[in-house]
Structure 1
Amino acid sequence: MMKKNLKNLMMLSLVAGTLSMTSCRDSGDKNDEPAEPMQNEMHQEQEMEMDHSSSQNKMKNYQDEAMSAEFKDENTATAYELYVDIKDALVNTKAEIAKTKAQELSEAKTSEKITAAAKKIASSDDVNKQREAFSDLTGAMEKQLESALASGEIYKQYCPMAFEGKGDYWFSNSKDIYNPYYGDKMLKCGRVDATIR
């Protein structure tokens, strides 16, 4: 009886481990097709362990693509540009840059919720606390982006593993995944969840 319980426990552990390792994988990937450049893949960590120094150099230089979206008003355009700067700083795990850009955003003409979230980021030197506040900023920014585009697209992206498996969103100018909640720990963990037009 005890051997059977132990065997069942081991099987459950194996299944749970397998599920957690694949939770960041895009369900649309096919085994016979080459994957996009590590997009939506958890094996990023293994490759980073093999060549940690070159991936750190890459991380220091990450910057979202130039904005192709055009906004109906200047204030929303400025707020979104600063949002992207904060996101890029978090992707690169640069707390000081995130703090500076968040301070700029808190002084811009925008909604109270965006200002409050930006002030939280600007008041912290701890990148993990900044990432928590960035979640609030993303929620506030989403309301600002509704019906704000004159042309172009913005990509709403999602990481299922953020905040201990609760998952969270962010916005990007590019379909490429660069995760602001994990930085170089799980840089490519995520997927495009929606496109704002």
Structure 2
Amino acid sequence: MKKQIKNVIMLAAVVGSLSLQSCRETSEDKVAPPMQNEMHEEDMDHNMDGDDTMMDDQDMDTTSAKFKDDKTAEVYNHYIAIKSALVKTDAPMAQGHAKMMIGSIENTEANAELVRAARDISTSNDVNKQREAFSQLTATMESLLNGAIESGEIYKQYCPMAFEGKGDSWFSNSKEIRNPYYGDKMLKCGRIEATIK
């Protein structure tokens, strides 16, 4: 009987540690449904780790990468601004930056998928739909970024829990993880998957 109780306790401990391992977030964060659409006011300055500088770091939006042409740099900077808006769960800000991105690529030979994804973000006020379009935007940005960097680096980051466990990627100027698919619900969920130089 004691052996059975001991086995049950060991099994419960293993299951519990595996469920917490995925993104090292607190159990309070795990309760939140994936891709929850909510607008924040006072909570925007509150980091789940207790750090009051949640996402307002100017350095995270500044890239060390230098691009071979100014148009690519401009499009990438708009991409980063959209990402930052989604990290903050700010649909109107994401819309505004997506509109600016479209203006930057209208007179170029941009990939039609890039334009479509930016347009989907710019015409939606639902942050969950914007996050889905951002996934497409990221996929098309990758081909734009390959071979476009003269110096410096950009980080391709990945969250295994995005889109109900399917996982998805995004680009960042910093090694710090700031998850655009969950915002402050799982702000630091993710890992660096590649470095683009």
Give the structure-2-normalised TM-score: 0.77
For residues 57 and 118 of structure 2, the distance between their equivalents in structure 1, rounded to whole angstroms, comes to 21
Query: Matched residue of 2:177: which SS?
Result: coil
Match in the other structure for 2:22: 23
Match of 1:61 among 33, 38, 56: 56
How many percent of aligned residue pairs carry the same amino acid?
52
Tell whether 2:81 aligns with 1:82.
no
Structure 1, gaps ≥5 residues long:
25-40, 47-51
Aligned-residue CA RMSD in angstroms? 2.5
Residue identity opposite 1:162 in structure 2: A
CA contact (8 A) 1:45 1:186 kept: no
Query: Matched residue of 1:170: which SS?
Result: strand
Match in the other structure for 1:28: none
For residues 160 and 53 of structure 2, the distance between their equivalents in structure 1, rounded to whole angstroms, comes to 24
CA contact (8 A) 1:175 1:192 kept: yes
* CA displacement at 1:15 relative to structure 2: 5.4
For residues 43 and 154 of structure 1, the distance between their equivalents in structure 2, rounded to whole angstroms, comes to 29
Structure 2, gaps ≥5 residues long:
30-42
**Deviates further, 64-73 or 85-94:** 64-73
For residues 55 and 174 of structure 2, the distance between their equivalents in structure 1, rounded to whole angstroms, comes to 18
For residues 192 and 142 of structure 1, the distance between their equivalents in structure 2, rounded to whole angstroms, comes to 15
Q: How many correspondences in the alignment? A: 169
CA contact (8 A) 1:62 1:92 kept: no
For residues 136 and 53 of structure 1, the distance between their equivalents in structure 2, rounded to whole angstroms, comes to 26
Tell whether 2:19 aligns with 1:42.
no
CA contact (8 A) 1:62 1:88 kept: no
The 5 Å alignment of 1:127-166 reads 127-166=127-166
Query: Matched residue of 2:46: which SS?
Result: helix
Query: Matched residue of 1:107: which SS?
Result: helix
CA contact (8 A) 1:162 1:182 kept: yes
CA contact (8 A) 2:44 2:54 kept: no
